[in-house]
Amino acid sequence: MRFDTRLRTSLVALATLLAPLAGCDDTPTTAVVTNAYAPAAATSVFEVWWSTTLFPRPVAAGATSETERTVPASDFAYALLAPGWSPESGGAPPRLVAVRSADPLSVAAHDRLRIVVSPDTFVGDCATGPPLDEDDAQLIVERIFPGAFAGASYDPATCRTTPASGDGGDAGGPDASADADQDGG
């Protein structure tokens, strides 16, 4: 009997200690990317980086990405636009444009961040607004999406990528240098 009483007392104490935890919100903090470019503009969002989260799948104009888990934070979002390219077309985009959110974006724990990519919310798309400054462009090209610009130089004033050889072409996509090597160029 004595053992049963001790066991019950211990279980009641344990339940009392765990009761406050039953109210914990275990909803993850998440984020999605919405490509708010008009479908007629045919501008896809190729990749997005925000705080600790990479959105690696392209998002067509007018579409929304898959939901990704993230952390509560406040930071700028960085993206690569692929003007005139559609994810359904296959292959690499012929051209990429580096952009940054106009303002830092924030999400609290257990909430969902919606990263809306459009000419109104992002800067750096030379076709729709002001270009990026040199420092932001360098951060995006060298630190955030270095593979997309490997062996090339990006000019934020014109939104053009040229091969490191300086031949003046528009390299653009992540496989552009591999294509040039196969073509003998």
Structure tokens at 44: 């896809």
Domain count, the chain: 1
Which pTM does this prediction carry?
0.77
Q: Hey, CA dihedral for 142, 152, 120, 112, is it positive or negative?
A: negative
**Overall average pLDDT of the 20-28 stretch:** 70
Residue 62 confidence (pLDDT): 95
**Residues 142-161 pLDDT 10s:** 999 999 999 999 999 999 99
| Domain presence at residue 53 | yes
Residue 13 confidence (pLDDT): 59
**Residues 100-144 pLDDT 10s:** 999 999 999 999 999 999 999 999 999 999 999 999 999 999 999
Amino acid at 44: S
Q: Quote the strand ranges of 138-180, DSSP E.
A: 152-155, 160-163
**Overall average pLDDT of the 47-73 stretch:** 97
% of the chain surpassing 90 pLDDT: 68
| Domain presence at residue 74 | yes
How far separated are the first and last CA of the chain, in Å rounded? 88
DSSP 139: I
Amino acid at 145: F
Structure tokens at 123: 């800067």
| Domain presence at residue 50 | yes
Structural domain span for residue 57: 27-177
| Domain presence at residue 7 | no
Q: Which of 69-78, 90-99, 160-169, 170-179 has the lowest mean pLDDT?
A: 170-179
| Domain presence at residue 21 | no
Residue 26 confidence (pLDDT): 84
| Domain presence at residue 17 | no
DSSP 64: B
For 107, residues 6+ apart whose C-beta sits below 8 A from its C-beta are 29, 31, 70, 72, 73, 113
Closest by CA to 171, choosing from 151, 157, 156, is 151
Q: How far, rounded to the nearest angstrom, does the alpha carbon of residue 168 sit from its chain's CA centroid?
A: 29
| Domain presence at residue 182 | no
| Domain presence at residue 185 | no
Mean pLDDT of the chain: 84
**Residues 6-22 pLDDT 10s:** 666 665 655 555 555 55
